[in-house]
Amino acid sequence: MKRILVTGGAGFVGSHLCERLLNDGHEVISLDNYFTGEKRNIVHLMDNPYFEVVRHDVTMPFFIEVDEIYNLACPASPIHYQYNPIKTVKTSVMGAINMLGLAKRIKSKILQASTSEVYGDPLVHPQTEDYWGHVNPIGIRSCYDEGKRVGETLFMNYHHQNDVRIKIIRIFNTYGPRMHPHDGRVVSNFIVQALKGEDITVYGDGSQSRSFQYVDDLLNGMIKMMGTDDEFTGPINIGNPDEFTIMELAEKVIAMTGTKSKIIYEPLPSDDPMQRCPDISLAKEKLNWEPKIKLEAGLEKTIAYFEELLKNS
Ligand code: NAD
Ligand code: UDP
């Protein structure tokens, strides 16, 4: 049994990770400031004596003795990370410094939830880990993209300078139950709009692409990465290489929910990447990992979750 700290533990991915680690027999501490996370996501875990909940902001130092740290604290949806961009940068940068300082002091392993956003609006397709990216440093997404890029820089430097045992994963668009119904990300938006019979809002002409990974596949990749030898730091792409246009996603959600909702077009936000698809050769080689859940199967579970949520709200 290990003692594991999950920052951002009350968020979408973090809550699934806490649950999975508890089920695997570990002691888990969730640290969260509840900016985008919710107690509702972890309330079902609170009876477990091996689960602890801490309200804390990662921009402030935190001390604890653990074997492993998963650093997930950071708003992930564009509307949330753009709400207070300075805070987003602080969360990424000071959060990384605080958690790396902790890992250094207690000699724990630490995994950083980085992102495909480090590739920006990519000129290389699909994206391989050796691609340096194409990011606008002063655009509306930069607080998140550049924050996460500095996060990777800090992780690498703590590793080289202080021998901290680091792991960096670059997560591609992930979806599933417990996404916030109003967080503005495309999968949750389309499903909630479809279930409410509201217009489906496609930004731009819908020809931009994304590759959607179901959350369980991400957890498998994440945990496998944490388990690799200390020499292997990443960064490593964790995503589903099945690529869809946003229009294809809208059509799938309409067909699967049987909604009467109509598609409407809204302006494409600035710096919105036109395409995104991971090259996962490295994950296949180093982790013997690849995603197993097809988009339809994942959407089915996610639609069922939102149906239940809307029924009870
Ligand atoms: P989320 O917004 O649901 O979860 C983030 C959690 O971090 C929330 O519970 C939030 O309250 C918490 N948090 C935010 N700022 C904090 C702070 N200063 N101190 C403490 N807690 C704070 O997002 P998610 O989708 O679960 O993403 C989790 C991580 O994975 C993030 O770091 C995100 O950048 C990364 N990621 C996610 C995706 C995705 O598609 N879901 C893709 C790439 C990277
Ligand atoms: N998008 C959309 N309608 C929505 C929400 C998002 O067309 O209601 C588009 C958005 O412009 C982007 C894609 O869907 O091209 C994915 O957006 P999301 O915010 O989920 O993730 P990210 O842009 O960070 O990959």
Closest C-alpha residue for ligand 1 atom 28: 72
Closest C-alpha residue for ligand 2 atom 5: 186
Ligand nearest to the CA of 180: 1
Residue 227 confidence (pLDDT) above 90: yes
Tell me if 253 CB under 6 Å of ligand 2.
no
Percentage of the chain modeled with pLDDT above 70 = 100
Residue 24 confidence (pLDDT) above 90: yes
Residue 210 confidence (pLDDT) above 90: yes
Tell me if 277 CB under 6 Å of ligand 2.
no
For the chain, give the mean pLDDT: 97
| Pocket probe mutation, ligand 1, options 7, 72, 189, max atoms within 8 Å of Cβ | 72
Q: What's the whole-number mean pLDDT along residues 283-294?
A: 98
What is d(CA 4, CA 263) in angstroms, rounded to the nearest whole number?
A: 44
Instruction: Write down the catalytic residue from 70, 81, 119, 144.
Output: 144
Ligand nearest to the CA of 143: 1
pLDDT of residue 170: 98
Chain segment 187-201, per-residue pLDDT in tens? 999 999 999 999 999
pLDDT of residue 119: 97
* Residues whose beta carbon lies within 6 Å of some atom of ligand 1: 7-8, 10-14, 32-37, 57-59, 72-76, 91, 95, 113, 115, 171, 173-174
Lookup: tokens for 107: 């000699």
pLDDT of residue 72: 98
- Cβ–Cβ under 8 Å, residues 225 and 236: yes
Residue 313 confidence (pLDDT) above 90: no
| Pocket probe mutation, ligand 2, options 186, 189, 192, 248, max atoms within 8 Å of Cβ | 186
Residue 163 confidence (pLDDT) above 90: yes
Residue 312 confidence (pLDDT) above 90: no
**Which domains are delineated in the chain?**
3-311 (3.40.50.720)
Chain segment 242-270, per-residue pLDDT in tens? 999 999 999 999 999 999 999 999 999 99
Q: What is the DSSP string of the chain?
A: --EEEEETTTSHHHHHHHHHHHHTT-EEEEEE--SS--GGGTGGGTT-TTEEEEE--TTS------SEEEE--S--SHHHHTTSHHHHHHHHHHHHHHHHHHHHHHT-EEEEEEEGGGGBS-SSSSBPTT---B--TTSTTHHHHHHHHHHHHHHHHHHHHH--EEEEEEE--EE-TT--TTS--HHHHHHHHHHHTPPEEEETTS--EEE-EEHHHHHHHHHHHHTS-TT----EEES---EEEHHHHHHHHHHHHT----EEEEPPPTT--S---B--HHHHHHH-------HHHHHHHHHHHHHHHHHT-
Q: What's the whole-number mean pLDDT along residues 208-218?
A: 97
Q: What's the whole-number mean pLDDT along residues 173-187?
A: 95
Chain segment 88-122, per-residue pLDDT in tens? 999 999 999 999 999 999 999 999 999 999 999 99
Tell me if 128 CB under 6 Å of ligand 2.
no
Query: Active site includes 158?
Result: no
